[in-house]
Amino acid sequence: MRFNSVFISSFLLASVALTARPRSLRLNLVERPANDSSDGIEYGDNWAGAVWHQANGTFESVTGTVTVPDVWGPTNSSATVAVGIDGDTCPNFAMVQVGVKATVTSNGTNYQAWHSWSPADWVLVDIAIFARNVIKLTLTISDATSGFAIIENVSTGQSVRQQLQAGRSGYPLCQQNAEWLLEDFFLNYTQVPLSNFSMVTFTDAKAVGNDSRIYTPQGAIISDIKQDGQVLTSVSVNDSSVTINHV
C-alpha cells in the first residue's frame, strides 16, 4: 500500500496500516428508491451517514461537530466517526478524511484522532480524546492535491491543524462528494468487526462549494451499513445535523 507524503505542524504522528475504504470499493452496494427525507438510501458494508453527490470540483470544505460515542463490544471491534471529501463517485478512488477512531481492547476502549488521503493508510494524530468529548472536525481543500485538517477538542480546548498532500503517487480529488460518516474500517485489508456505539450526531454540519454555496445534510444521500444481509445502522438528517444509531 502506498503512503502519502504528509507534512506535520510540530505534532507527533504515527503511520499505521489502517484504511478508510471508499464507498466506490465497498462490497454489496445496493440502492433503493428515495425515501421521505433524502434522495435515497444506499447500503454498503462500511459507511453510515450522509453523502452529497455533486459535479466535479464542487466541494472546498466540510465540517461537523460530534460528541465521541461510548463504544463497547468484543475485543478488537471498532467504529470511527469522520468528515470527508470524495470516496463515493470520484472515479480514481481518491478520498480525504479526518476523524476519531474507537477500538475496544482488553483494557477498555481506546480513542485516537486520525487523517487520511486515500488510498494511503491513516496517520494518527497526537491529541487526547475520550468518550463524550465534543470534537469539531474540519477539512479544507486548497486544490485537488492539497489541503488541511483541523481537529479541535472543544471539551479540553486542545486543537491540531495538519497540512495534507496527495503525495508523489498522485490521487487527486474530484471534489464531488462531501460526507459525515460512521465507518467500519479495514486493518491490513480485513474488515474489523463493528462495535456497539451510542448514538452519534454531527451538529453544525455543513459543506462549502466553490461558489460559496452552503450544503447542509438535508438533501444528501443517506447511507446505512449492511453486512451479511443485516442492516446495522439507522441514519436520519435535517438541515444542520446527521444522526446515526446502531440497530
- Please give the positions annotated as active site: 183
Contact (CB, 8 A) for 146 and 164: yes
Say how far apart CA 150 and CA 164 lie, in whole Å.
11
Say how far apart CA 105 and CA 102 lie, in whole Å.
10
Q: How many CA atoms lie within 13 A of 184 on its CB side?
A: 25
Count CB-CB contacts under 10 A for residue 27.
11
Q: Which of 150, 230, 223 is nearest to 180 (CA)?
A: 223
